[in-house]
């Protein structure tokens, strides 16, 4: 383990991918179907998060005593904050454990949103 690194015994992993809009109605109404970078179709940019999610679920990943894995694809703002609330409740359920170390959250995001 690297110097200064502390592996938490309770770890939550939240992976989020957002592919962005499949089309841009504003541009299409103007007759422009080519997407500039700001309105790009990003459905292929979420592959990194998909890979990391599978990596974090593998048995040889350095996980803690207890793990929580949440995966969101194209979530709404409310769904994202609900996932954070779920993580807070989950971590909070272990606070009375004599070995409680504060827990940890690993957050991965890729895409556009």
Structure confidence at residue 3 (pLDDT): 55
Structure confidence at residue 81 (pLDDT): 96
Residue owning tokens 């790009």: 40
Structure confidence at residue 49 (pLDDT): 81
Q: One digit per residue, pLDDT tens: the chain, 113 residues?
A: 455 556 788 989 899 988 765 556 666 676 665 554 455 556 666 777 888 888 777 765 666 788 899 999 888 889 999 999 999 999 999 999 998 988 989 898 887 65
The answer to whether the CB of 36 falls within 8 A of the CB of 47 is: no
Structure confidence at residue 48 (pLDDT): 78
Distances, alpha carbon 110 to alpha carbons 8, 29, 66, 80, in Å: 24, 28, 25, 14
Structure confidence at residue 2 (pLDDT): 52
Burial of 95 (0-12, 13-18, 19+ CB in 10 A): exposed
């Amino acid at each position: 383990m690297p110097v200064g690194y502390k592996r938490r015994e309770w770890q939550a992993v939240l992976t989020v991918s957002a592919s962005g809009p499949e089309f841009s109605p504003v541009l299409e109404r103007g007759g422009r179907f080519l997407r500039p970078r700001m309105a790009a179709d990003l459905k292929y940019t979420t592959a990194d998060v998909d890979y990391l999610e599978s990596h974090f679920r593998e048995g040889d990943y350095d996980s803690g005593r207890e793990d929580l894995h949440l995966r969101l694809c194209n979530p709404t703002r409310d769904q994202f904050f609900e996932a954070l609330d779920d993580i807070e409740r989950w971590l909070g359920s272990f606070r009375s454990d004599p070995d409680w170390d504060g827990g940890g959250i690993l957050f991965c995001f890729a895409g556009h949103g």
